[in-house]
Amino acid sequence: MTNNLFIVCPFSSVELRLKRKYSNAFFISCPGAIIPYSDNSFIEILKGEIIRNNIKSVYFVNDTSSRIINAVLSTKDLFGLDAEYLVEKIYNNAFPQRLKGCSIQYQQLRLAEFIVQNQKDEFLTNGVFTDLVIDEKIMVKTLVVSPSMNFFKESRIAFPAILTYEL
């Protein structure tokens, strides 16, 4: 049986729903489900948990009802978390202008997808976890949970979210 690690935001409440859907679920939380790569203690704990629990799949999970996503979409003042500024950067630099006129539910879904894809790309390319992913044959996936639409969706965005531009 595969052990799954879900990286979730502590401000969302997706753990119970994920436990029901996935067996052998382990959780690590960080604001916005965005790994603080500058926090060496957090990185060492995360690496240790992946090894100790024989994790074979890592999921970056975002909830469409995220306070961070909704603060950025509604252009409210941010509280000062690094995760908020990264989400705002993704929204300003990578979120296509044509999506900004869509329904709020659709914008939440797409922004959540961009965020988890960005985290997946960062996890795979920054060099901190590269050897571990390769040596342990770990699958890295993204998942968006929408409580309002009652679904789980693996993201299919295949390009780096932080570097995309609308043509």
What is the pLDDT, as a whole number, of residue 158?
Answer: 46
The CA-CA-CA angle for residues 84, 89, 93, to 5°, reads 155
Mean pLDDT score across all residues of the chain:
86
Strand ranges (DSSP E) for 9-167? Answer: 25-29, 55-63, 139-146, 151-153
Question: What average pLDDT does range 129-146 have in this prediction?
Answer: 90
CATH number at residue 104: 3.40.1050.10
Distance (Å) of CA 126 to CA 23, 38, 120, 149? 29, 12, 10, 34
Average pLDDT estimate for 138-159: 77
Q: What is the pLDDT of residue 98?
A: 82
Q: Domain span at residue 139? A: 3-163
Could you give the CA distance from residue 76 to residue 40 in angstroms, rounded to a whole number? Answer: 31
Name the CA radius of gyration of the chain, rounded. 15
Centre a 10 Å sphere on the Cβ of residue 26 and count the other Cβ atoms it contains.
Answer: 16
Number of domains making up the chain = 1
